[in-house]
Amino acid sequence: MPRPNRPAKERILDAANSLFYGEGIRAVSVDAIAAKAGITKKTLYYHFKSKDDLIEAYLASRDQPNLALFKAWFDEAEGGLSGKVQAMFDRLADAARHPKWKGCGFLRTAAELANMPGHPAMKVGALHKKKFEAWLAETFVEESVQDPHALARHVVLLMDGAFSTVLVHHDPAYIEAAGQAAASMVARAS
When divided into structural domains, the chain yields a total of: 2
Tell me, what's the pLDDT at 3? 53
Q: Are residues 10 and 87 in the same domain?
A: no
- Is 42 in the same domain as 67? no
**Domain membership flag for residue 58:** no
118 and 177 part of one domain: yes
Alpha helical stretches, state H, 97-147: 105-112, 120-142
Pseudo-torsion of CA 72, 74, 71, 112, nearest 10°?
A: -110
Q: Domain containing 132 — which CATH number?
A: 1.10.357.10
What is the domain extent for residue 36? 1-49
- Tens digit of pLDDT for each residue in 129-160? 999 999 999 999 999 999 999 999 999 999 99
User: How far is Cα 147 from Cα 137, in angstroms, rounded to an integer?
Assistant: 9
Q: What is the average per-residue pLDDT within 81-105?
A: 96
Residue 55, domain member (yes or no): no
13 plus 70 within the same structural domain: no
57 part of a folded domain: no
pLDDT at 171 over 80: yes
Q: What is the pLDDT of residue 5?
A: 80
